[in-house]
Amino acid sequence: MDLGLASKVFIVTAASGGLGLASARALVAEGARVVLVARRAEALAAAAAELGAQNAMVLPADLSAPETADAAAQLALDTWQRLDGAFVSVGGPPKGHVVENTDEQWQAAFSSVFLAALRVSRAVVGANPAARLGFVLSSSAKSPLADMAISNGLRPGLAMLVKQLANEIAPDGGRAFALLPGRIATQRMVDLLGHDPTPQDAVDSGIPMRRMGDPDEFGRVAAFMLSDAASYVTGVMLPVDGGLLQVL
């Protein structure tokens, strides 16, 4: 299948590793070009070297900073004279119960998770009203996760924002969607588990496929959803979780 991604340009955030880098790899493999945004400059440079200088530009920056989204959009336009969309991933909020997380933790997470995604949306749609916008959310957008009160509080609201955004940009040919990763074997999962994921962790989590997902499996879904092949798909919250999420 020709995904129609050749020469298209996307901003990819949290792109120095994990799901962001996996998605950037999948896009570049299909002929797209990417602006990689992340805080870790050294890891970002390594990612760009892997993808090739002709395919990837880097912006070492904190996505929660108000100016980062506009800077990423401008870098794409200055480099390739076009911007076709973005795939927005951000760092996960800290663990905690509803009454335990502090105001400071909630405020920091709102800035890094919610406002960061909103700012990227503004910057990309401002450059191209027909843009494709993908967001990495969480299964907590549909069902609460134990000990993840901040994620449970913010992700459903962001999911509804994505749904409204999809409706608003659809008349101009734009699309917006979110992917809901389950248990994917990234550093984030190591941090949450406190150890490298094992097959038993997958069983204990109730994953019907009885294994953790590979980041590249997630990245391929992201590339498809951003592609011409998915041109009539918008406003969806698509789980990529091996069947873990047991809601419609």
Q: What is the pLDDT of residues 11-23, one digit of tens each?
A: 999 999 999 999 9
Place of tokens 């990495």: 136
pLDDT band, residue 191 (cuts 50/70/90): confident
Alpha carbon dihedral 101, 104, 108, 109, in 10-degree steps, equals: 20
Give the total residue count for the chain: 248
Question: How many Cα neighbours within 13 Å face the side chain of 176?
Answer: 26
List, for residues 131-158, the tens digit of each pLDDT value: 999 999 989 899 998 899 999 999 999 9
Angle between helices 18-29 and 215-226 (to 10 degrees): 50
Cβ distance 76 to 82 under 8 Å?
A: yes
Cβ distance 118 to 104 under 8 Å?
A: no
pLDDT band, residue 28 (cuts 50/70/90): very high
Q: What is the mean pLDDT of residues 36-55?
A: 96
Q: What is the pLDDT of residue 127?
A: 98
β-strands 132-136, 33-38: how paired? Answer: unpaired
Q: What is the mean pLDDT of residues 150-179?
A: 97
* 192 pLDDT above the threshold of 80: no
Separation in Å, CA 61 to CA 36, 38, 64, 71, 215? 10, 6, 9, 9, 23
Q: What is the pLDDT of residue 208?
A: 94
Burial class (CB in 10 A: 0-12, 13-18, 19+), 231: exposed
Beta-ladder partners of 239: 180
Cβ distance 247 to 142 under 8 Å?
A: yes
SS3 of residue 7 by DSSP: coil
Cβ distance 149 to 97 under 8 Å?
A: yes
Q: What is the pLDDT of residue 55?
A: 98
Cβ distance 202 to 183 under 8 Å?
A: yes
Q: What is the pLDDT of residue 198?
A: 86
* 66 pLDDT above the threshold of 90: yes
* 91 pLDDT above the threshold of 80: no
Q: What is the pLDDT of residue 90?
A: 84
Nearest-angstrom CA–CA distance, 23 and 170: 23
Question: How many Cα neighbours within 13 Å face the side chain of 15?
Answer: 34
Percentage of the residues of the chain whose pLDDT score is greater than 90: 82
* 58 pLDDT above the threshold of 80: yes
Q: What is the pLDDT of residue 182?
A: 87
